Structure 1
C-alpha cells in the first residue's frame, strides 16, 4: 500500500500533499538540514523560513528530469523574492538562459555555493509556494526544431541505473520504427533509426531533436520531462507501480498537458504496454506538425 502522500500526489490532491509535507517539515531536526554527510539527493534544504523579499538560493540536488519538471515554479518564486540564484546542473544551463530575473550558476558538487538568506531545493518549491502545476504554466524555452523527415517518431527506451524496472528492452521498440524513427538514447542502436550512433550528449541539440519530431515515445526518464517542458506530444511508458508524479488511473497528468500515459496492467508487463502503443500509433497517424489525428 502506497503512503498517503504518494496517493495524494498521484491523484493530484496537492493541498492534501502539502499538508502532510508541512507536518513532516515541522518534525525535522534543524541540525540535519542540508546534511553534508548525506548524498545530495537525500538532503532536505528549506526549513520553512520566509522567502518574500529575500535573496533566495535554489539548489538542484536531484536528477536532470527533476530540475526540468520543477523549473516551472522558478518564475513564481522570482516574482516574490528580492533575488533568485539557481545552482543548476551544468548540462541544463543552456536551456534556461532566457528565464528572466534569475541568476543561473553551475552546480559544482565539490564546491556548492554558500547559503543565502533563504535556501531551498528546487523540488521543495511547490510546498513553499503552495503552487500546483496548474498555478505554474510551463515557460517558453525558445528551441529551434531540428530538420527531420515528416512524421518522425523519437524514441527513448532506457531509464538508466536509478530504477532499471523503468526501462523497456530495446527490441520491443522495433514495431515503432515502421516509419521514420529517431533514437534519443546516448549510445548506438540496432534499430532502424535515423541516427544509429545515438543522440548527442547535448541538451540543446536533444531539445531540438525533440522539437523536430512529431511525437516522443519514452520511458520514465529525463526525456519525458524535456518533451513535456517543450509542450510536445509525448507518450510516457510507466511501470505498474509508477513514480509518485504519475497517475495510476487515467492517461493524463496535470504536470504536462501534452503527455499521454501508458501504464503496465501488471508488474513487468511491458508486452501489453507496447501492444497498446503500437496499436495507438497505427490508428493515430503522426503528422509533421506534431499533432495527432
Structure 2
C-alpha cells in the first residue's frame, strides 16, 4: 500500500467516524455536509461499480431529481429498505415518475402499503441482480434518500407501514433473537429469552423451530406479509437489531430493541430513544457480549408491565 492510498483510507475512515457521530447526535446539517464532501470526491466511472458488492456501491451522483424520471435501487438489507422507504413519498412528490427496485421478499408488503395510502404513482419492481432495471434520468440507492432530499426522520409521518392484524390472543409479546450472518454479535442465545415466556404469551418471529415456550414452536413463516400481520396484532415486540426492529418501528408498534455495546450507526449510544422510530425503547449492553445483563433488565421491565396488566 503506497502513502497516497493509506492517506485516502485514513481520510475515509475519519469521515465515516465524523458522519456516525453527527448522525447519532441528530446533527443532520453536519451529516449532509460530510455526505456532500464525499459526493464531491466520487469519480463518475465508479458509479454503481459492478466490481463491488452491492452494499458498497454508490448510485446518486448529485444530479437534480425534480420533475425527472427517477429509479431507486435497494442494494442493502431488508431493514435498510424499510428504514428509508419512509422517504419514497417525498421523492415521488418531486419527481416526474418514481420506480423502486425492491428485494422480492419485501415487494408484496410494500406494494400493499403504498397502494393503501394512495401512492399509486410509486411503481415497485423486483430487484433481480442478473437483470437489473435499466438506468433512469436520475438513479439513487435507497439509503441515499435522506441526504438527497435533505430529509430528517421526522419529515416522514409515522407510522408509515400499516397492515391488517392477524388473529392472536391478547397481550402477545413477539420475540426475535436472530440477526442473520451480517453481524453475528447481534444474535442472542435463544435460551436467554426463556424467562420472558413465563411473564406473557410469547410468539417467535424467527423463521425456524425453537425450544422456547412460545405459541408457535415451529417458527414464524418466512413471509413478510404474514410477519407484519402478526406484529400488528402483538402488544409488544422484543428484538435484536435486525429487520424485525425496523418493521415493528415503521408500524409504530411498541418495541424493545436489544443492542450490542457498540451498535450500528442508526442507534444512539446512551439513550433509550431513537428519532427513526419513536415507538422503540433501547436496551444496550454495558459490557461487550453481555446479553444476560440486558435480558435481566428486560425481564424486570416486562414483569412490571405484566403485573400492571393483571391489576387492571
SS in 1 for 2:105: helix
Name stretches of at least 5 consecutive residues in structure 2 with no aligned partner: 1-13
Question: How far, CA to CA, are the matches of 1:133 and 1:104 in structure 2?
Answer: 22
Whether the 8 Å CA contact 2:60–2:140 is kept in 1: the answer is: yes
Range with greater deviation from structure 2 (200-209 or 135-144): 135-144
* Cα distance, 1:198 vs structure 2: 0.2
Question: How far, CA to CA, are the matches of 1:33 and 1:128 in structure 2?
Answer: 16
Of 54, 57, 63, the residue aligned with 2:77 is 63
1:126 and 2:153 equivalent? no
1:141 and 2:165 equivalent? no
1:164 and 2:184 equivalent? yes
Give the aligned partner of residue 75 of structure 1.
89
Give the aligned partner of residue 200 of structure 1.
221
SS in 2 for 1:47: coil
Whether the 8 Å CA contact 1:60–1:87 is kept in 2: the answer is: yes
Question: How far, CA to CA, are the matches of 2:196 and 2:225 in structure 1?
Answer: 25
The Cα RMSD (Å) is: 1.6
Of 283, 286, 296, the residue aligned with 1:262 is 283
Distance 1:175 1:212, change over 3 A: same
- Please list the CA deviations of residues 68-110 of structure 1 after superposition, one character each: whole Å capped at 9, or x if unmatched: 0000000000110000000001111111224212011010011
- Rg (Cα) greater in structure: 2
Give the aligned partner of residue 201 of structure 2.
180
SS in 2 for 1:91: coil
Question: How far, CA to CA, are the matches of 1:234 and 1:286 in structure 2?
Answer: 19
Question: How far, CA to CA, are the matches of 1:23 and 1:151 in structure 2?
Answer: 49
* Cα distance, 1:287 vs structure 2: 8.8
- Give TM-score scaled by structure 2 length: 0.90
Q: Of Structure 1 and Structure 2, which has the larger fraction of its residues in helix?
A: 2
1:209 and 2:259 equivalent? no
* Cα distance, 1:284 vs structure 2: 2.1
1:103 and 2:134 equivalent? no
SS in 1 for 2:212: coil
Whether the 8 Å CA contact 1:150–1:287 is kept in 2: the answer is: no
Distance 1:275 1:44, change over 3 A: same
Question: How far, CA to CA, are the matches of 2:250 and 2:67 in structure 1?
Answer: 28
Of 120, 132, 136, the residue aligned with 1:112 is 132
Question: How far, CA to CA, are the matches of 1:136 and 1:274 in structure 2?
Answer: 32
Question: How far, CA to CA, are the matches of 2:124 and 2:308 in structure 1?
Answer: 37
- Give TM-score scaled by structure 1 length: 0.96
Question: How far, CA to CA, are the matches of 1:166 and 1:10 in structure 2?
Answer: 19
- Please list the CA deviations of residues 44-73 of structure 1 after superposition, one character each: whole Å capped at 9, or x if unmatched: 000000000000000000000000000000
Give the aligned partner of residue 15 of structure 1.
29
Question: How far, CA to CA, are the matches of 2:266 and 2:298 in structure 1?
Answer: 21
Whether the 8 Å CA contact 2:86–2:160 is kept in 1: the answer is: no
Question: How far, CA to CA, are the matches of 2:57 and 2:183 in structure 1?
Answer: 19
SS in 2 for 1:218: strand
- Please list the CA deviations of residues 103-150 of structure 1 after superposition, one character each: whole Å capped at 9, or x if unmatched: 110100111001000000000000000001011123543311111111
Q: How many pairs are equivalent?
A: 289
- Please list the CA deviations of residues 226-262 of structure 1 after superposition, one character each: whole Å capped at 9, or x if unmatched: 0011110110000110000001021000000100010
Question: How far, CA to CA, are the matches of 1:234 and 1:177 in structure 2?
Answer: 16
Name stretches of at least 5 consecutive residues in structure 1 with no aligned partner: none
SS in 1 for 2:106: helix
